[in-house]
Amino acid sequence: MENCTEDLIIRPEKSFKPSINFSNLLGNSHFAENLEPIISSLRESQYWPLSKLEQIREERFRNLSHDIRSSKFWSEYFKKYAISTSSSEVSEELLKFPVINRNDFRNWGKNVFIYQKDLNIFKTITSGTSGTPLEIILDKKTASIAYFSFFFRNPIFEKIDLGILNRKFIVSLGNHGLRRWFRDFIYLFSISPSDLEKKEVRQKIYKQFEKIPDGMLGGFASVVLKFAEYAADEKIKFPGLSAIKISSEGIGLNDRTFIEKTFGAPVLNELNCSEAGMIGFECPENLGKFHLNAERIIMEIVGENNEALGKNKEGKIIITALDRIAMPIIRYEIGDRGKLLSEICRCGRTLPLFEFTGRQNNSLIFSDGKKIRSIIIQSALIKSGLAKKCNFIQLKQLNPYDFQFTIIPSPLYSKEDETKIRVILTNLTENRKIKIDFEYKNISDLKNNKPSFFVPLQ
């Protein structure tokens, strides 16, 4: 039985019949039936000794090396760095490869793409939240199996019935990250925070939740928070809601607590990226700490010169995904910062623990080297009451001491609030001499833009 479990983790795609259609997963009973034992295996493996997880990664690395040998580019790449695919020390072999980033993929072009007969290839682009968007290709089958199995391995979904995949079960507020994989399962409301001022819009959303009492809510933090404020004021209840998935923007602890209390469901916090897929999930018993999906991901933390950093030291997150065949991801800089932790999690899971400290470009940067995370400023503005007075607010750093706020004001907003914003930013930047400009727009000007709070220094 144990070997069967390991096989499901090492080669999960082998348990799916070739006839299964991965183009539309809604109501696809064969997909759900084959997915369930993989999820069960992953729920078991998260308590295995690290030595056993390392053996699985060694086997998956060998499989990856074998699967991509048909590619001239990757065959030569492995030869160039004298990689031994038979070595039992995968981590040491990986260190022979250089750290790569999006610019490397752009320079290599389509040479890195692997088109095999048995791959169901589809193209997509990254979101651009950690830099300029990048075109990538994925194998629909292996990528779907990996995403859904690791998504539902999350402890939040331990009691969920996969029969939920027979219907739509997600209310999505805006075009955020869930749509890539859960497109077939989403009731989409393409709205901005200002649209929620209209009672008829809110009523349509409330009504949709009546159809999916055990479903999920997804959306950008700014939209979900605004929706929660209205729902709390109108005393709307959401019995049975399983989770809230927030994308792209960070939220402070107070906002998270408010959202969870309003909807009666936990916030689902994960680290993933388009290129590598599901990287890790936040431990519900150790908030702020993430478990690495070590069955498919190898994580490293490196310094500014790509030197290896020890445990508990913050640096750039480098990822190797052991199941990405169409576009291999090997020692790839994902654009985020974090640190691997030496502590053993109190939850009992043996999966490595790490902290995700944010996007590399998600901080205000001054010429003296001082950095201030944008989430701190965003939280301060929300606490001041501006969330209810602005339909949209964005901070842009033009140069080290020059900032611009773009605001779509609600009728509650006044010139006094502009002064309040100046005081907040000045205080948080430790009274540096900074210039703060304001521009005011209509919602139509930003209708198609991704509602990101912070635009970093370019």
Mean pLDDT of the 404-413 span: 90
Rounded Cα–Cα distance for residues 89 and 158 (Å): 33
For residue 4, the 8-state DSSP code is H
Q: Beta strands 353-359 and 329-340: pairing type?
A: antiparallel
Structure tokens that stand for 38 in this block? 């993989």
Rounded Cα–Cα distance for residues 275 and 326 (Å): 11
Rounded Cα–Cα distance for residues 189 and 186 (Å): 9
DSSP string spanning 316-360?
EEEEEETT--SS-EEEEEEEEEEEE--SPPTT---S-EEEEEEET
Q: Which domains does the chain have, with CATH numbers?
A: 2-149+271-358 (3.40.50.12780), 164-270 (3.40.50), 363-455 (3.30.300)
* pLDDT band, residue 1 (cuts 50/70/90): very low
DSSP string spanning 141-198?
HHHHHHHHHHHHHSGGGTT--GGGGGS--EEEESS-TTHHHHGGGEEEE---GGGGGS
What pLDDT is stored for residue 123 in this prediction? Answer: 86
Mean pLDDT of the 363-382 span: 78
CB 320 within 8 A of CB 296: no
Average pLDDT, the chain: 88
Mean pLDDT of the 415-443 span: 89
Rounded Cα–Cα distance for residues 69 and 165 (Å): 36
For residue 420, the 8-state DSSP code is H
What pLDDT is stored for residue 448 in this prediction? Answer: 44
Query: What number of helices (H) and strands (E) belong to the chain?
Result: 13, 20
What pLDDT is stored for residue 111 in this prediction? Answer: 93
CB 148 within 8 A of CB 6: no
Does pLDDT of 201 surpass 80? yes
* pLDDT band, residue 197 (cuts 50/70/90): confident
DSSP string spanning 271-282?
EEETTTEEEEEE
Does pLDDT of 240 surpass 80? yes
Q: Does this model's pTM top 0.85? A: no
Rounded Cα–Cα distance for residues 425 and 152 (Å): 40
What percent of the chain clears pLDDT 70, i.e. is strictly above it?
A: 92
What pLDDT is stored for residue 263 in this prediction? Answer: 96
What pLDDT is stored for residue 167 in this prediction? Answer: 93
